[in-house]
Amino acid sequence: MRATPKKVDKPRIVTVALDDHVVYALLVLVRSLFISRAHDFHLVIGYFPGQLQDSNIRLLEDFLAVLGQSWEIRKLVPHPLFTERRHLTMTTFSKFVLSDEIPTAHLWLDIDTVARPGWDEIFPILFAVKDDVKLLVADKLESTHTRFSGFNAGVLGWTHAPREKWVDELENLPEKRFSSEQHLFNILYGHKTNTMDVSFNFLSSWHENASLEYAKIVHYSGPVKPWHLARRHQEAWRSINASWNYWFEAEAEMLIWLRSQALNRPVQEQKRRALLSGRLHTGKGSLAAWVLRTLVVLGPLGDPLVKLITRR
């Protein structure tokens, strides 16, 4: 399943992975990458068996064909220890598998990102790193909302250097290590990285920082995603977190483009499904996800709750 990329000296490869829960998010991301690119790129999409229905694979193929994007879809083999915890699914570990399959330099993006003009400026930086650098990661802002040590693994520039062996370290992780995929990356690559500007992985939790307007890739990390929000409330949510505006703009552009396409109906159906696609749990940080799910269910009856939230 592929559309052959053009032959170039250093191909610009972007890798992502998905399951049935985030098909709509991927469509928005891919369209944002395509329309804001300065150069052509090749897209590699990975998935684990049993995690992506054939009908969704066909939708992706049709979407990419109409878009005119070079692509391939790969069925990956999961490790038995790949786990799901809180809002994270086993798909988050696919970046290890894909990086092993693609030994050349390439860019990894989490699905919960959106691209803006300048995003592919990352490739000249990636191609220029020294031979001893194994991973290119974004810098981070010092903020009360920066609740992680090391680097965030949502945007990764894989170099041509050999990959670290990750299976043994995975087996040594605590069984219930939260976000163990990111923890594992920092164990393996923490001292073998170069940093790039924070604009290439700007977390939505940093939305109060003035640097937001310069973000090239916005990352909606955490359990709450823009596609989980009933759109009747999107204006109110923009006042809560301005970074969400970039995702809503990308979505609106895609939907306008699709109006005259036969794909419009199945994509609209994916949009409806995405509202209820989040993994709900009762652990730490779960309240916001429950609030968004409640707003979807309540419909217009949720308006007073949104007004209350925006006044805080």
pLDDT of 292 reads: 74
Position 145 scores a pLDDT of: 61
One digit per residue, pLDDT tens: the chain, 312 residues? Answer: 555 545 556 899 999 999 999 999 999 999 999 999 999 999 999 999 999 999 999 999 999 999 999 999 999 999 888 876 655 678 889 999 999 999 999 999 999 999 999 999 999 999 999 999 999 999 988 766 666 678 999 999 999 999 999 998 888 877 655 446 888 899 999 889 999 999 999 999 888 888 899 999 999 988 889 999 888 888 888 888 899 999 999 999 999 999 999 999 999 999 999 998 766 656 666 677 777 778 778 788 777 887 787 766
Q: In what order do the strands lie in the sheet with 202-203?
A: 113-115, 217-219, 202-203
137 vs 154: CA distance, rounded Å: 9
On whether the CB atoms of residues 7 and 40 are closer than 8 A, the answer is no
Three-point CA angle 211, 152, 40, nearest 5°: 75
Q: Please, which residues have CB within 8 angstroms of residue 208's CB and are 6 or more apart in sequence?
A: none
Tell me which residue of 156, 176, 170 sits closest to 98, measured CA to CA.
Answer: 156
Q: What is the pLDDT of residue 182?
A: 83
Burial class of residue 286 in the structure, from the number of CB atoms within 10 Å of its CB (0-12 exposed, 13-18 middle, 19+ buried): middle
Of 101, 100, 105, the residue nearest 160 (C-alpha): 105
Alpha carbon distance 264, 261 (integer Å)? 6
Position 178 scores a pLDDT of 43
Domains, in order of start, for the chain: 2-311 (3.90.550.10)
Determine which helix (DSSP H) or strand (DSSP E) holds 122, and give its type and residue range: helix 122-127
Q: Tokens standing for 95?
A: 């970046």
- Identity of the amino acid at 179: S
The per-residue pLDDT for range 87-122, each reduced to its tens digit, is: 567 888 999 999 999 999 999 999 999 999 999 999
The sign of the CA dihedral 18, 77, 154, 200 is negative
Q: Which of 96, 283, 248, 116 is nearest to 185 (CA)?
A: 96
d(CA 145, CA 148): 9
